[in-house]
Amino acid sequence: MSELYQKLEKIVSKNCISDNLYIRHAYSRTVDPVLQGVPDIVIRPTDAREVSEILKVANDENIAVISRGGGDCEFGGSKPIGDSGIVLDLKGMNNVLNLDQENLIVTVEAGISWGKLNDYLCNFGLYTGCLGPGSGLTASVGGGISHQSVGGGGCAKYGSCTNQLVSLEVVLPTGEIIETGSQANKYSKLPFNRFGNGPDFASLFCGDNGIFGVKTQVSLQVFPKPPFANYKTFLMPRKSEEISAKIFTEFRLKGIDVYDSMYFMDLLVRVGTEKGIFPLWENLKRKRGTMFYTVEANTEIELEEKVKQLDKIFLQNKAEELG
């Protein structure tokens, strides 16, 4: 057993640390199967204090620490480069800590998945607006903030998941624990404001891939989920890249708050259906680009009106409704 292991095992409980070959190999890969390197140790902290102690030891020993949330990064960010390092598995920190229903802010441990968080919020008729990445059933909130994730739904209306960030608790590489936004003020009981307390330090950690520190707590704005929604897909005319961009612009010019919309270019539809990725489109006679929208509303009449306006935009641009 290495000296490093002996120091680290004093910080976490026995079943939260391993240098077992099989465990280390399991953590040498993520959703991306390429082998970049095998870590020396895998450790699963349960709070910021443990993370801080681990980083202090790693600093003393001059050894790399790789934060890992859901391990859904396709570009190797959450696994070691070379046979060395400590993988810090944050999935043990996956609790909702507080839901402030007056200010509509939820505070969670950074390892919670977007799926688990939104499951919890729907009990209160709430959601996170942008639902994080498309991998959100397993990807973590901390990973999403570290990647500026968009794509799991809601980004047309709410922006990237970092747009609704209120405050962070971060353990810096030195082991120091800091808080951002209103939480940097020691008299503030609960997070309520990201901006207006001096520079926006939270933004330093958005999209940092975990390089600037380990996120341990995240506070996000949450929103009431509108009770009505509709969804439609259209077959686009030939060579529709520019037309799709025009349609996106028209949504904005008409002031329609589309919840989500995505364009799939001709090539993607053709290759995707050939490979069985889009089975619903197999019967399409013409494998052209497709585009969908999702729209929400507070009343049925409001929804009908929005759908009417959106359909008009698509039809005027020679798209055909698929359903």
Ligand X SMILES: Cc1cc2nc3c(=O)[nH]c(=O)nc-3n(C[C@H](O)[C@H](O)[C@H](O)COP(=O)(O)OP(=O)(O)OC[C@H]3O[C@@H](n4cnc5c(N)ncnc54)[C@H](O)[C@@H]3O)c2cc1C
Cα separations in angstroms, 281 against 165, 290, 292? 37, 10, 13
d(CA 128, CA 182): 20
Q: Which residues bind ligand X (CB under 6 A)?
A: 30-31, 66-74, 77-78, 90, 110, 133-135, 139-140, 142-144, 146-147, 149-152, 209-210, 214-215
CB distance 183 to 191 below 8 Å? yes
Cα separations in angstroms, 131 against 135, 207, 227, 235? 10, 16, 17, 26
User: Is the Cβ of residue 39 or residue 151 nearer to ligand X in the bound state?
Assistant: 151
Smallest gap from Cβ 107 to ligand X, in A, equals: 14
Smallest gap from Cβ 60 to ligand X, in A, equals: 21
Smallest gap from Cβ 221 to ligand X, in A, equals: 18
Place of tokens 């009770």: 227
User: Is the Cβ of residue 70 or residue 85 nearer to ligand X in the bound state?
Assistant: 70
Smallest gap from Cβ 300 to ligand X, in A, equals: 30
The two tokens of residue 202 are: 């939270």
Smallest gap from Cβ 101 to ligand X, in A, equals: 25
What is the amino acid identity at position 294?
T
Residue 204: what are its φ and ψ, rounded to 5°? -60, -30
User: Is the Cβ of residue 124 or residue 292 nearer to ligand X in the bound state?
Assistant: 292
Strand order in the sheet with 290-297: 260-264, 290-297, 228-235, 320-321
User: Is the Cβ of residue 8 or residue 73 nearer to ligand X in the bound state?
Assistant: 73
CB distance 311 to 232 below 8 Å? yes
User: Is the Cβ of residue 165 or residue 313 nearer to ligand X in the bound state?
Assistant: 165
Smallest gap from Cβ 82 to ligand X, in A, equals: 15
User: Is the Cβ of residue 11 or residue 108 nearer to ligand X in the bound state?
Assistant: 108
d(CA 221, CA 157): 14
